[in-house]
A and B are shown apart, each in its own frame.
Chain A
Amino acid sequence: MAHAIFVKDLEHSFGAKKVLKKISLEAEEGEIIGMLGPSGAGKTTLINILTGQLVPGGGTCQVFGKDCRHYESKDYEKLGIMMDSFGLYERMSCFDNLKFYQMLDGKSVDEIDGVLAQVGLMESKKTLASNLSKGMRNRLAFARTILRNPKLLFLDEPTSGLDPMTTEAIHEMILAQKKKGATVFLTTHNMYEAQKLCDHIVLLNEGEIVESGRPEDICRRYNHQKKIRLHLANGEDVELQQEAQAGEKIAEYLAEGVLETIHSTEPNLETVFMELTGKGLK
């Protein structure tokens, strides 16, 4: 598969402060890649560089083989970009906000209703953007992003500050885009979101990649305890070392009918991040 995103030794500084330090990563077409890191890790700076809003200090950054420093207007046709600020026209309705972007692309307005229904805003079609809740504004911005059927979506913290229902809806929409073949590059500091959505995760801290890979592989890699935790019917928790005898013990509990649940003790992404950096993701 071709690279949707190719970044090598990418650097960027704001004054004396280095915000990206020789970052290298790749995203294949059709996968969801997540940048996971706390605020100030450099996630938004990286998105700004990849979307051509910022010229990097050094290194290679390509999207579909095109150097991000030399984007032309037509290159944006392939991209759907949803930044932290939604950039909606407050005095225009949901429908008119989308109609404007369809007009810019020279496309018909027929698709708008379908996309509004997809993001659950059909009933608010005529509502002014200024009267929408944060979750609804987020969904409208997402609708605008997917309306042009982009090949690559850049989503900067797409569910930040949203309620669980809206977050779930956004997750479903992101996965639907993946099903349609789009590549998704998202930043988040929510490990559950990253674990649920991403095929590939990059852990970023203070401008440096501290770990990357498939979420389950990362968690397995840092499973130092290698234990199995059993919960028994009498409320007791039993931890067993992952070795041959553990199987016999589990079989014994099963035969007695006292085994309720089995858990592995592998860490989650937050624990891995803490182990690597000594701090949390928030």
Chain B
Amino acid sequence: MTHHIKAILWKQMLDTLKNKTIMIQFVMFPVMTVIMENTIELQNMPEHFFANLFAIMYVGMAPLTSIAAIIAEEKEKNTLRVLQMSNVKGGEYLLGNLIYIFIMCMLGSLVIGLAGGYTGKTLLTFMAIMAVGHLISAILGAAIGVISKNQMSATSLTVPVMMIFSFLPMLSMFNETIAKVAKVVYSQQLHLLLQDIRHPELSVQCVTVLSVNSLVILAVFIFAYRKVFARSK
């Protein structure tokens, strides 16, 4: 099992370096954070404003779209079918991809955190919050990739989902009604944690929303996985 996952990680690393669509997902928000944090200074701007804003957009966008695109491409080009007939279990394939996406997104998050001026304990807290978000988003993206027949259908599914999870926290800063609605999504709860990063408090609401979101997403993923990988033992 280990060498299967190792091989998938190696392949993904090699393949993604030449895949501009995926690469841009990993680097866009870290680069934007570096630029904005170093060039824009607004009056009364909250601490780590751009880092927090882009971090949550990164959580809602990068892992979700990249893993969905990778899996959908493998399905469309029949490489997934070849893999399944090459002694690779569905679980190994997905785990290999999840690990790869998680590592890449965590590297991007580190850049965002450092660009935002986080250091020491707050940087660790920031990374922990990002890790939770990337994991939930990656599982959701994997479910979308698994149920999509090709890249086009994956895109048509990921765009609205990504808009909800990445833009709601931003829009909630400008509209109270949206803020109330946004509270039920994991990315908004993570955004609230980031906003109070020096004294992060896991409220009942936060834990409930994160747990319910995770369980629903996990259920969707298991349903999709069973449907598609049923023949792979």
B198 at the interface (CB under 8 A from A): no
B173 at the interface (CB under 8 A from A): no
Most buried by A among B3, B15, B85: B85
Per-residue CB proximity of A77-119 to B under 8 Å, as 1/0?
Answer: 1010101011111111000100011011110000000000000
Kindly count the residue-residue contacts between A and B in the assembled complex, taking CB atoms under 8 Å apart.
72
Per-residue CB proximity of B62-103 to A under 8 Å, as 1/0?
Answer: 000000000000000111011101111100000000000000
Q: Is the CB of A81 within 8 A of B85?
A: yes
Q: Is the CB of B11 within 8 A of A89?
A: yes
Q: Is the CB of A53 within 8 A of B231?
A: yes
Q: Which residues of B contact A89 (CB under 8 A)?
A: 11, 15, 79
Of all chain B residues, which has the CB nearest A77? B87
Q: Is the CB of A72 within 8 A of B7?
A: no
A64 at the interface (CB under 8 A from B): no
Q: Is the CB of B87 within 8 A of A91?
A: no
Given contacts A55-B231, A91-B19, contact A104 B78 (CB under 8 A): no
Q: Is the CB of B231 within 8 A of A100?
A: no
CB interface residues, B 1-22, toward A, < 8 Å: 3-4, 6-7, 10-11, 14-15, 18-19
The range of chain B's interface size is 20 to 34
Q: Which residues of B contact A55 (CB under 8 A)?
A: 231
Q: Which residues of A contact B79 (CB under 8 A)?
A: 87-89
Q: Is the CB of A74 within 8 A of B87?
A: yes
Given contacts A53-B231, A87-B78, contact A105 B11 (CB under 8 A): no
B121 at the interface (CB under 8 A from A): no
CB interface residues, A 44-85, toward B, < 8 Å: 51-53, 55, 71-74, 76-77, 79, 81, 83, 85
How distant is the Cα of A144 from the Cα of B79 in the complex, in angstroms?
A: 12
CB interface residues, B 90-139, toward A, < 8 Å: none
Per-residue CB proximity of A237-267 to B under 8 Å, as 1/0?
Answer: 0000000000000000000000000000000
How distant is the Cα of A143 from the Cα of B140 in the complex, in angstroms?
A: 36
Q: Is the CB of A73 within 8 A of B232?
A: yes
Q: How near does chain B come to A50, taking the closest CB pair, in angstroms?
A: 11
Q: Is the CB of A103 within 8 A of B7?
A: yes
Given contacts A55-B231, A91-B19, contact A104 B4 (CB under 8 A): yes
Q: Which residues of A contact B19 (CB under 8 A)?
A: 91
Of all chain A residues, which has the CB nearest B73? A90
How distant is the Cα of A101 from the Cα of B79 in the complex, in angstroms?
A: 11
Q: Which residues of A contact B180 (CB under 8 A)?
A: none
Q: Which residues of B contact A101 (CB under 8 A)?
A: 86
Q: Is the CB of A90 within 8 A of B87?
A: no
Q: Is the CB of B233 within 8 A of A71?
A: yes
Q: How near does chain B come to A66, taking the closest CB pair, in angstroms?
A: 12
Q: Which residues of B contact A148 (CB under 8 A)?
A: 86
Q: Is the CB of B81 within 8 A of A76?
A: no
Q: Which residues of A contact B233 (CB under 8 A)?
A: 71-73
Q: Is the CB of A87 within 8 A of B82?
A: yes
Q: Which residues of B contact A86 (CB under 8 A)?
A: 78
Q: Which residues of B contact A81 (CB under 8 A)?
A: 82, 85
CB interface residues, A 150-166, toward B, < 8 Å: none
Can you name 16 A-B pairs with beta carbons within 8 Å? Answer: A52-B231, A53-B81, A53-B231, A77-B87, A83-B78, A83-B81, A85-B77, A88-B77, A90-B77, A92-B11, A100-B7, A101-B86, A104-B88, A105-B87, A144-B82, A148-B86
- Pairs of residues from A and B, 8 with the lowest C-beta to C-beta distance, nearest first: A103-B7, A87-B82, A91-B18, A87-B78, A85-B78, A87-B79, A106-B3, A104-B7
